[in-house]
C-alpha cells in the first residue's frame, strides 16, 4: 500500500529530549516527493537525531511523523522497507565485497522483478564501483565506502533516500562524484540529505530546511529561502560627489534602505527597494542625474545560501 | 491536523521477520564456515584442544578416583561452554561499536530477528564444533563401551548446557558494557558447575541441592543424582529431568530479556 500524499516526509512537533536538553524541538518538516531536500545545520544542530527518528533508530520524545505515508513509530518496518539510508559514518562487514554487500542488503527486501545480479550491476555502475565489485571492502577509501553506502541505500529502488552527511568527510573529487550520483538519482527517487556544506546544497537542492540548536529556523524552496526577509537589494558603485544624489534617493518612497561604504576611492551602495520595476526603470536614472556622479557598477544583489545561513543561525544564537 | 489520520497502515508481516532472520543467519554461519578448509581447521583445533584438556583433567584427577568418564565429560563440557561464552561475549556490542548494528537495523529488520539469528547461528556452530564432532570422536575412541542411545542423549544434554551459557552471555552483552560482568558471570557459573561434578554422589548440602534442580549443573552433577557419564554407558536417561526443563526455561527467559532490552535501545 502506498501513500497518495504529495509529501515523502511529514513531521509534526517532532521532538527529542535527552535528560533536560531538547536536541530536536518540535520540528515540522515537509519534504515533497521527487525533490532533493537539503537539511542544513551546524555540527550538533540535531540533523542526525532527526534522521534517526525518521528511520526508527531512536524514539521521539514527542510529536509524530510520516515517511512515505507510514508512521515512524508504529510502522517503522514499513518505513524502512520504503527508504534507503546512509549513516554519517557508515560501516560494512569488511570481509565482504561490494557485490556481496549489495546481495546481502537486497535479501532484506521483497524480491523485485528482474534479476538481482542485473540490479546489482546497475547500482554498481551508477556509483562507479563496477571495477571494484569483487574486492574486499576493508581496503576501500572513504569516498569508495560512501559510494557503496549510496549503492546499498538504492539497491531496492526506494521511494526515498535519506543520506546523513554524505559528502562531509570527502575530498573535493569524492564530493563531486557523490553529488553527481545524487543528481543521477533524482529521476528515480526523493533525496533528503543533511550537510553543513552550503555550496553543495545550492548546487543540487530544490528545497532546504535549516536547523539550529534543534529548532527549525526556516524551510522552503531555495529561491524563497534566499530572498526571505531580505527584500530586493541593488548594489551600486559610484565615484564623485554623491551628497545630492543621496538626498534625492532618500526621498523616494519605494526605497526602503540605503547603506554606503567607502572603499578604494569608490562608494559602494546597498539600496533596498520595494519594487523591482521601479528600481530598474528609475534608480539608475536618479543616480546619473548628477553630472559629478559616475556609476561604475550597477546590479541586483544575489544572495548566497551561506549569507542566509549565517544570518539565520547567528540571529538565532543572539 | 493529526498526522495519524493520514498514515497508511501496514500490518506486521511474518515475511519481514523470516527474510531478515535467514539472511542474517546465513551471514553469521558463513563467517564460521566460509570454505571447506576453514571448517576442517576449526574442527581440528577444537578437537585437539578438547582432547588435550580432557586428558589433562583425567590425569590430575587420579588421586580422587573419579568415576568412569566423568572427568573427560567435564573437560569436554568445560571447553564447549567456554568456547560458547567467548564467542558470544561481545557479538552485539562489537556490532554496535563498529556501526554495523545501526546499518543492519536501518533495513526492514525486526530486532528480535537480528538477535535470534545471531544467537541461533552461534548455537549451531557450538553444537557442530564443540559437541557433535567431539562427541563422535569421544564415542569412537571408547567404542564399544559407549551405548548409542546414551550417546545421543548425552549430546542433547551437553548441547542444552552449552546453549544455556551462550544465551546467558548474549543477554549480558545486551544488558551491560562491562566486560568483567559479561565474561565473569558465565565463567563463574561454568567453574562452579564443574566443581559440583567432583562431589560424591548424592551429597547432602542444604540449600545447594535445590540449585541442581534449577540450573543446568544438575544434569552433570551428583547434586540431584544425575550423572551424564552414566547415561553414556548405560543408555538410561537422567534420574530427574527437572534440570533439563529448567535449562530450557532459562534459555527462553534469557532470550526474552535480551530481545526486550535490544528493542528499547537507541542506536
pLDDT tens for residues A6-28? Answer: 899 999 999 999 998 999 999 99
A299 has a pLDDT exceeding 80: yes
Question: How many Cβ atoms from other residues are within 10 Å of residue B205's Cβ?
Answer: 12
Report pLDDT for A159: 92
Q: Which residues of chain A from 75 to 94 reach within 8 Å of chain B, CB to CB?
A: 75, 77-78, 80-81, 85, 87, 89-93
Nearest-neighbour CA in chain B from A227: distance (Å): 29
Query: End-to-end CA distance of chain B, in Å?
Result: 30
Task: List the single best residue of A12, A70, A76, A91 to mutate versus B (max B Cβ within 10 A).
Answer: A91
Fold (topology level) of A232-300: Alpha-Beta Plaits (3.30.70)
B65 touches chain A (CB under 8 A): no
B17 touches chain A (CB under 8 A): no
A65 touches chain B (CB under 8 A): yes
The DSSP code for A264 is T
The residue of chain A nearest to residue B19, with distances taken between CA atoms, is A108
Nearest-neighbour CA in chain A from B250: distance (Å): 29
The residue of chain A nearest to residue B15, with distances taken between CA atoms, is A110
Query: Tens of pLDDT along B113-140?
Result: 999 999 999 999 999 888 888 888 777 7
Whether the model pTM is above 0.90? no
For the question of an ipTM over 0.85, the answer is no
Count A/B contacts: CB-CB distance under 8 Å.
93
Q: Which residues of A touch B12 (CB under 8 A)?
A: 77
The residue of chain B nearest to residue A10, with distances taken between CA atoms, is B3
Where does chain A hold its CATH 3.40.50.300 domain(s)?
Answer: 7-227
The residue of chain A nearest to residue B27, with distances taken between CA atoms, is A104
Residues whose CB is less than 8 angstroms from the CB of residue A241 and which lie 6 or more positions away in sequence, other chains included: A290, A292, A293
What CA–CA distances, in Å, run from A173 to A131, A170, A204, A306?
18, 8, 16, 21
Burial class (CB in 10 A: 0-12, 13-18, 19+), B124: middle
Where does chain A hold its CATH 3.30.70.260 domain(s)?
Answer: 232-300
Architecture of domain A7-227: 3-Layer(aba) Sandwich (3.40)
Report pLDDT for B60: 43
Query: Tens of pLDDT along B15-55?
Result: 889 999 999 999 998 887 777 787 788 888 888 887 777 65
For residue B139, what is its C-alpha cell? Answer: 564415542
Instruction: Flag if A65 and B3 touch (Cβ within 8 Å).
Output: yes
**Least confident stretch, A158-167, A292-301, B4-13:** B4-13
Q: Which residues of chain A from 96 to 125 reach within 8 Å of chain B, CB to CB?
A: 104-105, 107-110
Amino acid at each position: 500500500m502506498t501513500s497518495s500524499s504529495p509529501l515523502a516526509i511529514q513531521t509534526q512537533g517532532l521532538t527529542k529530549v535527552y535528560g533536560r536538553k531538547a536536541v530536536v524541538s518540535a520540528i515540522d518538516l515537509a519534504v515533497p516527493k521527487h525533490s532533493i531536500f537539503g537539511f542544513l545545520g551546524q555540527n550538533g544542530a540535531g540533523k542526525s537525531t532527526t534522521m534517526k527518528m525518521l528511520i526508527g533508530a531512536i524514539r521521539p520524545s514527542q510529536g509524530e511523523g510520516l515517511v512515505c505515508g507510514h508512521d515512524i513509530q508504529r510502522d517503522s518496518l514499513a518505513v524502512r522497507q520504503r527508504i534507503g539510508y546512509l549513516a554519517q559514518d557508515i560501516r560494512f562487514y569488511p570481509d565482504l565485497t561490494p557485490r556481496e554487500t549489495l546481495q546481502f542488503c537486497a535479501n532484506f527486501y521483497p524480491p523485485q522483478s528482474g534479476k538481482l545480479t542485473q540490479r546489482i550491476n546497475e547500482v554498481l555502475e551508477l556509483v562507479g564501483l563496477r571495477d571494484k565489485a569483487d574486492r574486499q571492502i576493508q581496503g576501500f577509501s572513504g569516498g569508495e565506502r560512501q559510494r557503496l553506502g549510496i549503492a546499498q541505500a538504492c539497491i531496492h529502488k526506494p521511494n526515498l533516500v535519506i543520506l546523513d552527511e554524505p559528502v562531509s568527510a570527502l575530498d573535493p573529487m569524492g564530493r563531486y562524484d557523490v553529488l553527481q550520483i545524487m543528481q543521477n538519482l533524482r529521476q528515480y527517487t526523493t533525496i533528503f540529505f543533511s550537510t553543513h556544506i552550503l555550496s553543495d546544497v545550492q548546487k543540487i537542492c530544490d528545497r532546504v530546511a535549516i536547523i539550529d540548536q534543534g529548532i527549525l529556523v526556516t524551510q522552503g524552496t531555495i529561491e524563497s529561502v534566499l530572498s526571505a526577509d531580505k527584500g530586493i537589494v541593488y548594489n551600486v558603485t559610484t565615484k564623485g560627489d554623491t551628497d545630492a544624489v543621496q538626498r534625492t534617493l532618500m526621498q523616494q518612497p519605494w526605497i526602503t534602505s540605503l547603506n554606503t561604504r567607502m572603499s578604494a576611492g569608490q562608494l559602494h551602495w546597498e539600496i533596498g527597494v520595494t519594487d523591482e520595476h521601479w528600481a530598474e526603470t528609475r534608480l539608475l536614472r536618479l543616480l546619473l542625474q548628477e553630472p559629478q556622479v559616475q556609476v561604475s557598477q550597477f546590479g541586483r544583489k544575489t544572495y548566497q545560501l551561506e549569507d542566509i545561513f549565517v544570518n539565520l543561525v547567528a540571529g538565532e544564537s543572539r | 491536523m493529526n498526522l495519524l489520520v493520514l498514515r497508511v497502515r501496514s500490518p506486521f508481516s511474518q515475511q519481514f521477520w523470516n527474510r531478515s532472520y535467514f539472511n542474517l543467519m546465513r551471514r553469521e554461519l558463513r563467517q564460521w564456515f566460509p570454505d571447506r578448509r576453514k571448517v576442517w581447521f576449526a574442527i581440528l583445533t577444537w578437537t585437539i584442544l578438547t582432547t588435550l584438556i580432557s586428558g589433562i583433567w583425567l590425569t590430575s584427577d587420579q588421586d580422587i578416583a573419579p568415576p568412569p568418564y566423568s572427568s573427560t565429560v567435564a573437560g569436554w563440557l568445560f571447553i564447549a561452554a567456554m568456547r560458547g561464552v567467548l564467542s558470544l561475549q561481545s557479538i552485539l556490542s562489537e556490532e554496535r561499536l563498529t556501526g554495523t548494528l545501526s546499518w543492519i537495523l536501518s533495513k526492514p529488520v525486526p530486532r528480535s530477528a537480528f538477535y535470534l539469528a545471531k544467537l541461533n547461528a552461534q548455537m549451531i556452530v557450538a553444537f557442530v564444533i564443540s559437541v557433535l564432532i567431539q562427541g563422535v570422536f569421544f564415542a569412537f575412541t571408547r567404542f564399544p563401551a559407549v551405548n548409542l542411545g546414551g550417546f545421543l542423549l548425552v549430546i542433547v544434554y551437553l548441547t542444552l548446557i552449552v546453549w544455556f551459557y551462550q544465551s546467558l552471555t548474549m543477554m549480558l552483552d545486551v544488558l551491560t558494557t562491562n566486560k568483567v560482568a559479561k565474561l565473569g558471570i558465565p565463567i563463574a557459573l561454568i567453574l562452579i558447575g564443574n566443581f559440583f561434578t567432583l562431589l560424591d554422589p548424592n551429597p547432602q548440602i542444604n540449600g545447594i541441592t535445590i540449585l541442581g534442580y534449577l540450573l543446568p549443573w544438575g544434569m552433570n552433577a551428583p547434586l540431584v543424582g544425575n550423572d551424564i557419564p552414566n547415561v553414556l554407558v548405560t543408555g538410561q536417561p537422567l534420574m530427574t529431568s527437572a534440570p533439563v526443563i529448567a535449562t530450557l526455561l532459562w534459555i527462553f527467559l534469557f532470550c526474552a530479556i535480551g530481545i526486550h532490552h535490544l528493542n528499547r535501545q537507541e542506536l
